Chain A
């Protein structure tokens, strides 16, 4: 069975500090990977997607970056957090040529 694990579960960070969020998928080879962001009470917004190791496409510019260092790992990061980065970050995977998304439990980020 496939499992998707996101870490950390929650973060409280200061404006201007760096951030790194992670996501690991087990039990599925070469999945498509996605990062989504949801402001409190807001719409799910796609940030990045990756179809293979080392290749990441940006969908929305939010002063964030993403990397896929391994087939089963997706990292979201920034060197300098803004207040507007607060929200709920979700990692998801899908099979190739299918777009049903399978989401992780998410990371709640509060930037103060």
Chain B
């Protein structure tokens, strides 16, 4: 059953702590994305990756980092530099990067600050 999985469903961060959100896909997609969702603001792009070992900053990359060591995996680290990390984080993937490409989304991870 193909799809995108994200874990954990809920994540709690303490002050000064880095936390990592997992995203895995078995759709054989080259492109993967991380979006942040805040109430009333839609979704904003944090990072995207077109291919293994390559990734690009999106609109709100400050305070976040990513890696793409495997085609299936695109983990997101929320660093202590991100001062307002409380949000719902969505991972997506598409066959390629481009205007015609349909993006498919995972179930999301909600990050809360203790």
Q: Do A and B come from one complex?
A: no
